[in-house]
Amino acid sequence: MTQVIDTNKYIEFVRQTTSPASSDLAQLLARITELEATTDADVPRLLTAALGMSAEAGEFTEVVKKIVLQGKPYTEENAFHLKRELGDICWYLSQAFMSLDTNFEEILQMNYEKLSARYPEGTFDVYRSENRVDGDL
């Protein structure tokens, strides 16, 4: 039998398990100030990149969803729309590169090395995709 969850208790659980910086502006500003003062993190660009990439990926996904699941035709116009969204994603990706003092080439090389270690035969393997060795993020 499925237990009915008390939604008020769940909301209180969420409140109790939320970090101070996620629920209080003063705490968020203090955390950002701390990061800026004690690390070389470029917090404004990191936030811009993370929020922007998520939003633009959602817009790209929305078009794909409508084409694949809702019968929207795959047309030149829709492909153009997808390309435009990819361009927006690249803009935010560039913000992430700047925030991390890196570039597309370095990230591609790191990704190639990671996946080459995961799939040493050079082909996809379901087991290796699900069962990672230590350090394989």
For residue 42, give every residue at least 6 positions away whose Cβ sits within 8 Å of its Cβ, in sequence order, or none: 98, 99, 100
Specify the domain boundaries for CATH 1.10.287 within the chain: 40-120
Confidence of residue 53 (pLDDT cuts 50, 70, 90): very high
pLDDT tens string 118-133:
999 999 999 999 998 8
Share of the chain above pLDDT 90, in %: 92
Closest C-alpha to 40, from 98, 107, 109, 110: 98
CA distance 21 to 30: 8
Reported as half-sphere exposure (CB side, CA atoms, 13 A), residue 59 has a value of: 15
CATH number of 40-120: 1.10.287
pTM, whole model, 2 decimals?
0.84
Query: Can you tell me the mean pLDDT for 76-99?
Result: 98
